[in-house]
Structure 1
Amino acid sequence: MTLPLSTLPAGLWRASELAHCHRAGHSTGFAALDAELPGAGWPRGAVTELLSERLGIGEWRLLAPALRDLTQAGQPVMVIAPPMLPYAPALAGWGIDLRWLSVVMRPAHAAHVQRQGPRARGGRSMRTEDRDMLWCAEQALKSACCGAVLTWLPAATPEQIRRLQVAAGGGETLAWVMRGAAAAATASAAPLRLGLAVGEGSRLGVQFHKRRGPPRLEPLWLTLPAPYARVPQSVTGGADDEQPAHLRPDPAPSSSPSTVSFVSASGVSHGLLDRPASAVSGTRDRLCAHTG
């Protein structure tokens, strides 16, 4: 007996079509990208992997529209283990409300080992740091108190990605995991996997490695927001996004500092994001911090 397609459960979809999600995704801020994603946006309650050859090619600018929407709506955003310290004035310039943004950094020695490449990652301490960051991401997802969780886990295993997918499943939180491009060759429980490639000017290529829909062989090219937006002098901040130190403006000190919450994995609070950019430059070098 042949059943008409209209009688099939809503959870089933034909591979020739984008899946029809039971809840809409959160708009990416790019109409062309929304049109290529099931749910017409970033999936809620599911992990999205963003895979790139190198850091700093526009990851923050790709996510900026969604982060702006969430923080302006008063929803907390947790940023875990960024390899480079976010530049608060640039984030504020894109409209992100820093009061709702929290950053958990690796200890300085772990960040240094991470930058050295795979040969330096064999030590026990580095594996411990990876587990700590994974634990932070899991707890943030399970708590269901965050609008979004953004984490860098370059050495994550398929089992660890599955743990994050289970933690995110059924919730409303947006979850992004940043990994290297080589991870595309490994299995993953994440329902959405996108490769990122740098283009000319402010263009970013998005390759669809995995989605609930038909394959797309050609990358989708997006025009990103400017890499730096000048912000009011009342905003002070830490290390930079994608601009060299000598090109950044020097925000004047203010009696109303940025309220980004910044902690290390050791639980020690830091005030880097509450200082003028010039006051952070030396500390940024010591922490090997620079963001993308």
Structure 2
Amino acid sequence: MAISLSWAGGVHTPLASQPGASRVGAHRRPMVLPPDVESAVWRGDSLGTPVTSTVSSGFLVLDAELPGGGWPCRSLTEVLQVQPTVLEWRLLAPAMRALVEQDRQIVVVGPPKAPHLPGLRQLGVDERRLVWVDVQKPVERLWATEQLIKSNAAGMLVSWLPQARQEQIRRLQVCAQGCDGPVILWRPAAAADEASAAPLRLRARFGVDWELRIHLLKRKGPPHEGELALPSVPGGLQDILTPRLSHPSRLIAARHSRDLPHAVGSPSSRQPAGRAPASH
């Protein structure tokens, strides 16, 4: 007697009742998983295959390192930084700009400082598509973030949760699985040592030459080594920066080389100019 196995697509695979025959058949015809099951399988030695859609970050170098090639939807992303409100808009503005062009809303919850609308216009973000939820207490930020995730009404949701606990992040991750847009949480750099249910975690900081430095702390895939350098000149400065000021690191290196002593000996041991050595 043979057993017939079938997938949802209706393809039948006979399976012999004898163990030896089943092993021979397995070698002869490897099992092929349905596409929806195959897409959900993640192999640890490669970047995770996206089960849901992503939104391009706007930085080709960063997209190449993110599973799926962009900010993931139906999932949490944590970005850690030392000081808040210094690089959030420069990192997220390219993705926000693309979403605004699709007439989708950008919702921000509890930013430590009020969004600067003229600066957002220079970054290409139309303020008419920006919703600012002004809440400052940690419990209010958390509640507003959870309700907005559940409502699934934002093209991108950005929230500042510096005091969120592990179980609260886990709850938000469960809720985010039903959200069609990326959910970005900004948290302090000290949270890097804490466990988190967010599948994607990044650490962001400034570079000397107007770039953003990004290190991927956690992702579906191999560990990320080093840092990514993302060119990111603040809005309005690109047209007025001189070639010298476009690379401050070169100016710093040149000044440092001039300040280095080129002669052996201590300046304190030299006699002042115009004064003869004392006679004894």
TM-score (norm: length of structure 1): 0.67
Matched, 1:145 2:153: yes
Q: Identity across aligned pairs (percent)?
A: 41
The answer to whether the 8 Å contact 1:71/1:98 transfers is no
1-side partners of 2:126 and 2:41: how far apart?
A: 38
The CA deviation at 1:228 is 2.7
Residue of 48, 58, 62 corresponding to 1:19: 48
Match of 1:71 in 2: 100
The CA deviation at 1:6 is 6.2
1-side partners of 2:143 and 2:193: how far apart?
A: 25
AA aligned to 1:212 is K
2-side partners of 1:9 and 1:199: how far apart?
A: 40
Match of 1:176 in 2: 184
The answer to whether the 8 Å contact 2:85/2:111 transfers is no
Which aligned runs of 4 or more in structure 1 are off by greater than 6 angstroms?
Answer: 1-6
The answer to whether the 8 Å contact 2:152/2:178 transfers is no
Matched, 1:228 2:257: no
1-side partners of 2:148 and 2:234: how far apart?
A: 28
2-side partners of 1:146 and 1:39: how far apart?
A: 20
Match of 1:85 in 2: 114
Paired residues for 1:96-107 under 5 Å: 96-106=125-135
1-side partners of 2:88 and 2:121: how far apart?
A: 16
The CA deviation at 1:10 is 2.6
1-side partners of 2:44 and 2:224: how far apart?
A: 12
2-side partners of 1:5 and 1:95: how far apart?
A: 49
2-side partners of 1:28 and 1:100: how far apart?
A: 18
Match of 2:242 in 1: none
2-side partners of 1:24 and 1:15: how far apart?
A: 20
The CA deviation at 1:51 is 0.2
Paired residues for 1:159-174 under 5 Å: 159-174=167-182
Q: How many residues align?
A: 208
Which stretch shows the higher mean deviation, 68-77 or 130-139? 68-77
Please state whether the residue corresponding to 1:40 is helix, strand or coil. coil
The CA deviation at 1:5 is 9.3
2-side partners of 1:58 and 1:24: how far apart?
A: 25
2-side partners of 1:70 and 1:156: how far apart?
A: 27
Matched, 1:58 2:83: no
TM-score (norm: length of structure 2): 0.70
2-side partners of 1:41 and 1:70: how far apart?
A: 13
String of CA shifts for 1:158-213, please: whole Å, max 9, x gaps: 11111211221132121000001111111111110000121112111111110001
The CA deviation at 1:77 is 1.2
Q: Which runs of 5+ in 1 are unaligned?
A: 108-128, 231-292
- CA RMSD, Structure 1 to Structure 2 (Å): 2.0
String of CA shifts for 1:194-248, please: whole Å, max 9, x gaps: 0012111211111111000100121111111x32338xxxxxxxxxxxxxxxxxx
Larger Rg: 2
